[in-house]
Structure formats: structure tokens, C-alpha cells
Chain A
């Protein structure tokens, strides 16, 4: 990178259509710093509430099938609190054995539940670290942010 032109500082949401996803900014080539946050204090403090992609998927599938925590826990022969942890906690420690069982009961594969790859552009490795959270933003949002940044950038150049 040559002269860096832009720096970014970020706040991320936890509530929303999607479950609190850690996320952030842009692949535009002129940024040099991004600060990410998981959840604004406004909502949930630092006692971080960050579900994993695994948790989000399990919860979504469970809801779609109209199952309560109790019901799915019983079906998958696991405890209710363990299932709650899987759905709601980043620190949850999923075992293959249990995830397979849950997957089976939800009619999906364990691989589907555990695979949290994001589709997206290939960016340089160095950028990946910074941008991996940004990449979790919905694509249209990413595009929009880039557009806005581009406009501002152009405006600056035109001005002078």
C-alpha cells in the first residue's frame, strides 16, 4: 500500500434483521484502518452477546420448524442449556457428535451447520484480516458503502 488515504472506524449492530453479526467495512483500496465492534453498549454491553454462524443457523431452522428449545433438545438428546449456548454464545463449544445429531433432527447436514464461509471477492491476504468482518455484511450494503465512499472521494477531487 502506498499513502493511505482513508481510515474507518466502525460500529456494528447487534439487533437487526439478522442476528448480531460482527461486521465491518470495505474492500475499497484506499482505506487503512478499521475498528470493529461487536455490540454497541447501547444494546448489550461488553458481556458480549455474539452468536456464531452455527448458532444463527440452528436457531433459524428450529424456528422455521416451530420447535421450542425444549423440543429440539429432547429430540437431539442434549440439554436445553447446551442448545441455548450453541445458539447464543460465541464461547459455546460444539462437539461433532452433538452437532450431527442436531443437524439430523433439523434435516440438514452437519457440514451445512458448521460451514461459515462467506461468499465474496478475493482480497489480498493482508486485507482479509481487516475485512473478514466487513465481508459478513450483506452484499448490497457493502456495495452501497463503497458507492458512498467513492462519491465522497470524487467530490473531494472535483472541489479543488
Chain B
């Protein structure tokens, strides 16, 4: 393991130089000393070289200039403008809502001609310097979350020079979570600095072992030149972290499998209805999902145009809209096409295949062949940390949504007039008609229901996959496989089938790679069908055959 050198001018990884500067800056806030005059950081900001620019940010942060915060914010937001050609006085301007102000003084000035200006752009290294600068300011922020973030940054940089700063912050810290991270940061910095007594170091190793995550492990693994007792403790700590990471890794695979299963479930549920209940093999099912995804896009566009305040709730409007759109389309298809093909499942397969081609091309003609932009609302972004697990929020919502949809569907079929009628028609069409149920209407509604569910699946899929005319093709085979594994027409079977397929795929993947995992799942399916030719939950009762 290479030894990381501490500090140094070139930004190489986890913000060493910046944190030293930040540490100094924070100390300066605590101690009433006059601000240090640096080389003009504003001129550095106006430079066209990114490294100089990053240095300018760091110098500005340290300088104690009262405008520092405003200028750094403007730079981050892309509102800082410099002169297009080099000038010795390096004018800098900030574009605010009320006009142009001079960056150095904050006073409003007459706007120079646009042709003379260029926006000061940032690259990753400048962005990192900005983050460091803000981190330093945040260490003394009244907001707990900001302090936590700054403490994490300190932990990651593990810089010895920051030790006094950390100790000072610890003394003042009263929030337990921030305090814990500060202790970890202290431990990291201590170990990295290769100083301190053996007891102190052993305590630091324990602290990090308790943290037990990837970063701690990485840090521990990269230490060397420690006294033998400490080295032994480090090795033991690394092993224990590895074990717990492995356990979390297993749980993570289960989570991935469940979330993949939820996606499969959503895509397959609608098919379970049309296929299972009506015996209709609908090869255009994937296109219903696509219609749902495009409906989401259209709803989003409409909200953006007419009610921008509701943007975050776009999905809530999209779900019923997609259900209606896909459902209506399903009803139309049933009335114009499927109706004539009942009792001929193989012809329906062929006709619906032709239909899927038409639908794909129609969408391609209307919206263009490119992907459409469907943004995720904020409440669906990010991840939840549960111990060592990182659960991405959007997939959590999808799992919930899939279960809700399945539950709603089961409820509809079990209770409610429509559900009863559907079951009656499926069991004995003639008798149901004789009892006064209008079978053509029920047929259309059932197909519409299945398609509507597919549309809702499209809403969910638009969050994790591309919205393009080819969206449906990616899911049609998997949907059929799920329905076949679960047993035709049985919603519980669909649920189980989807989960099994998802989990198997995700468990094989880390060992064999994604491609082989998929192939293995397919081979297993073929073998599984030998054992259970009619799926996990075959239809009970005597099956009439010719």
C-alpha cells in the first residue's frame, strides 16, 4: 500500500491542502487577529488556468476578506464574470438579480458591454476547492447538517495539521452525531500523522474499527510504519471490517434482488391480468408500459408549462394519467382488434406483435427517436443509509409502489363489482352473460385494466430507465418469463416469480458478471419449467383439453 504524503500543493485526492487552509481560516475566526494579506486572490480567480483559479479560491477563503463568501458562492453558481482579455486590474463582476456588482466591493456598477465579459468557469479541481472552502466555513455553522458534512470532510482528508482544529471543535460540540464523526476524524488524523503514544493510537484504531465502513477500511489499510502492536490491531480491525462489510454486502444483494424483482413485478402484473385472466397473449404489453412512461413525460411538460409550483408532485399526477391513457388505449385495442381473436391465442400473439411495431413507430414519429427527459423529483433522489446498507430512495419507492399496485389489483378483483364480474366472465362466460353481465364490456374493461396497470409501471420505469420508443422491448421478455414462472393467471405467483427471478439474478451477478447471470437465469427457467410445467402456482381443477 502506498503511503500517502500529507499536504502538498497539488490536489490529489481528498483535499489535504485545502483543509490545512481551512483549518487556518477557522482558527482565525476563533482568534481575533488581523486578516493576512495574500497575493491578490481575485486576480487568481480571473486567471484562465484552472489550477491558478483553484488556488485563488483557497487564498480567498484564507484571506478573511468579508466578500470571500459572496464571491465563492457566485463562482459556484456560475454568476462570476471576468474580463475576456487579461488586464492588470483583473476586474471581476457578480451578476445578481438586480444587476451587476463589482466582486471586490459589492457595489453596483454599470454593466460593461457583454462582448467584453466571459463567465468564470469551474472544473472539478476548482469545484473541490470551493467545497473545501465552504466546508471550513461550515464547521462553525449553527446548522447541524452543515457541521456534520464538514466533519465528514475532515475525516476523509485525515490531515494531521487539522488536529488542533478538530480538538477545538470537539470541545465546543454538543451534538452527539457530529461529535462522533469529529472523534473519528481525530482518530484518522492521528493515525495518519504517525505521532502519538501507542495507547492513543490503539484507541484511534478502535474508533475507526467501530466506524466499520469502506472509508475507514481504506484508511486503515493504507497506514504503514506503525509500531508492531498497533500494526497488529490495524490488521485485526481490517479483518473485522471486511467481515461486517461482507455481511452487509449480502444484505445489499438481497435488496438489489428485491428491487429488481419489484421492477419485474410492475412490468408483469398487467400481463398477468390480460394473459392469465383472458388468455390473451399481448405482445404489445411492453408498448403499454412505454405509453405510461411517455405520459409521465407529457404530464411533466404540462406542469412545467402551466403550474411550475407543482413540479415536485408531477409523479402523483402522472400515475392516474398513465393509468387512464394506457387503459384507454387498451380498451380501444380490445374493441378493435382483440375482440375478433378470442379463443385464438396464437393469432392474438401475432396481431399484437404487429400492433407493437405500429405503436413504436407512432411514438417515434410523434416524439422523435431520441430519449426524453424525465426528471426525478427531489423526494425520490438520494439514498438512505441503514447501517452498512445504502438503499437508494427511488428503488425503495418503486418497491412500495409495486406492492401497492399489486395489492390494489388484488383488492379490485376480490371485492368490488367489476372484480366479481371479471371473475364470473372468466369462469363461465355463457352463464355470466345469462346472468346479465355484459361480457363484451367486461372484456374491454379487463383488458383496459391490465393495460392501465402496465401504464403505471411505465411511470415507475421512467425513473430508472430511458424513456424511448424501445422501452417496451426491454421488458416484454422478462414480463412473460415472470408470468410463466409464477403460473398463469395467479397474482401471488407473479409476485413470487418476480422476486425469485430478481434475487437469483442479483446473487449470481457478483460472481459471474451481468451477462452470464442473465443467461443462467434463462437456463434455470428452462430447467424449472421441466419440473413445474405450469409455473409455481398452476391453475387448479380439471383443465379441459380437446
Q: Do A and B bind each other?
A: no
Residues of A bordering B, CB below 8 Å: none
